[in-house]
Amino acid sequence: MGYLELDMELSDEVKAMQNEARKFGSDVMRPAGIELDKLQNPADVYAEGSALWDVFRKYREMGLHQVGISKALGGMAEDMDPKFRAIFAEEAGYADAGLAISLGVYTNPFKVAALSKDPELQQLARDFCEDTKCEMIGCWAITEPEHGSDYIMALDPAFNDPKCGPDLTAELKGDEYILNGQKGAWVSNGTIATHATVHVKLDSSKGMQGTGLAVVPLDLPGISKGKPLDKIGQRALNQGEIFFEEVKLPKKYMVVPDTQVMTVMFKMILTGANTGMACAFTGLAQAAFDEALNYAKQRVQGGVPIFEHKNIKLKLFNMFRKVQAARALSRQVALYAVKNPGAVHYAVAAKVTSTRTAFEVTSDAITILGGNGLAKEYVIEKMFRDARASMIEDGENDILSIAASCDLT
């Protein structure tokens, strides 16, 4: 990653980990992402022997799946400098944005399980930390066929209308919740996950504000999965539907059964998701800038490298400026959110800024590469497709901005 590190207070430990993350990105993630992007059948992305599993195994070997879980449960949360989380997300996004998101949701249900005081759920978190064979994979199941942005707007009091409540219901019967409904095709890791963090409807009278949060083992009777989604960008990221029919979930697995608590929890979830996206797509923007700069120094037109032409220099500087601004905002918000996990409007500002920057910078990079920018032998066209998806996933940028505006007062 070709940029000057402006944070003069990075510890030697974080710098060493940054180098390891960069090596993991360049040696493992980038080539795997390019290979997986070329597969015509999205089911081949996770087929036996796929490069996806090499990424997952190496990630486990580095112990990075333990980052968000406490030491008491086998993780390393207390030992991890929060700056590294932001830096790792940047490095992962630089290497491959789709795989960065896959790894980002990889630990989600196990981190939620670790929040519970129930011994069985805590053991689930321990088992995940000890799993070195990639036998446990998480996903975040929130979006539904009829409810994508509705979830994002759940913090708006107007969305307590029963007409806009979730489709996936959880009805308490004795010591079990009975789950019925569906999660949409955009569930990241959806068709390969063994466990899911699942948003459910508990109180139909409260609309999107009547929800709870459960950890669901996806091998329970009544759960099935759809085919993997075929899409233009982030093709290395497995996504797909999950169906629930009369699924019996033990009561203890409903980690957040209180809808009022869930409203607070949802702010924390939005903050975490958006800061992660912000850092990852800052990384992608940096990667596109680096590709364009290197090309401009090599490509000759008019008898000189095109970098010598003023219009190219101006475009590159504007790309550089945007990337630096996105990095400054995303890192600062990521650090702030550690102690202020409900800072939704800051997190959304960072996500919108970074994803828009990634889209604009990859588009400008295509312009600099000219016809070659459209050719699949150059990674820029893939980066452009990956960047476009980022402005929709985890909340379409305009809808996110409207939702976050509620916190400005």
162 has a pLDDT exceeding 90:
no
396 has a pLDDT exceeding 70:
yes
366: burial class by Cβ within 10 Å (0-12, 13-18, 19+)? buried
166-177: pLDDT as tens digits: 999 999 999 999
82 has a pLDDT exceeding 70:
yes
CA pseudo-torsion sign 144, 148, 152, 154:
negative
9 has a pLDDT exceeding 90:
no
- The one-letter code for the residue type at 57 is R
pLDDT band of 148, cuts 50, 70, 90: confident
Strands 138-141 and 195-201: parallel
Task: Single out the residue of 402, 308, 392, 406 nearest to residue 97, CA to CA.
Answer: 392
Rounded-to-integer distance, Cα 334 and Cα 353, Å:
14
294 has a pLDDT exceeding 90:
yes
Strands 169-173 and 176-183: antiparallel
3 has a pLDDT exceeding 80:
no
Helices (H), 299-369: 310-339, 344-369
- pLDDT of 154: 82
24-76: pLDDT as tens digits: 999 999 999 999 999 999 999 999 999 999 999 999 999 999 988 999 999 98
Rounded-to-integer distance, Cα 71 and Cα 59, Å:
18
360-389: pLDDT as tens digits: 999 999 999 999 999 999 999 999 999 999
- The one-letter code for the residue type at 313 is K
- pLDDT of 74: 94
- pLDDT of 38: 97
Strands 223-228 and 300-301: unpaired
Going by C-beta distance under 8 Å and a sequence separation of 6 or more, which residues neighbour residue 194?
Answer: 135, 136, 137, 138, 217, 218, 219
pTM for the full predicted model:
0.96
203-242: pLDDT as tens digits: 999 999 999 999 999 999 999 999 999 999 999 999 999 9
Arithmetic mean of pLDDT over the chain: 95
- The fraction of the chain above a pLDDT of 70, given in percent, is 99
306 has a pLDDT exceeding 80:
yes
- pLDDT of 324: 97
pLDDT band of 2, cuts 50, 70, 90: low
pLDDT band of 21, cuts 50, 70, 90: very high
Rounded-to-integer distance, Cα 381 and Cα 396, Å:
22
pLDDT band of 158, cuts 50, 70, 90: confident
- pLDDT of 163: 82
1 has a pLDDT exceeding 70:
no
Taken in order of first residue, the domains within the chain and their CATH numbers are 12-130 (1.10.540.10), 138-258 (2.40.110.10), 262-407 (1.20.140.10)
Do 289 and 320 contact (CB within 8 A), yes or no?
A: yes
Would you call 137 helix, strand, or coil by DSSP?
coil
Rounded-to-integer distance, Cα 110 and Cα 160, Å:
29
Over residues 272-290, the mean pLDDT reads 97
Do 330 and 404 contact (CB within 8 A), yes or no?
A: no
- pLDDT of 409: 64
93-119: pLDDT as tens digits: 999 999 999 999 999 999 999 999 999
165 has a pLDDT exceeding 90:
no
Q: How many CB atoms lie within 10 A of CB 115?
A: 16
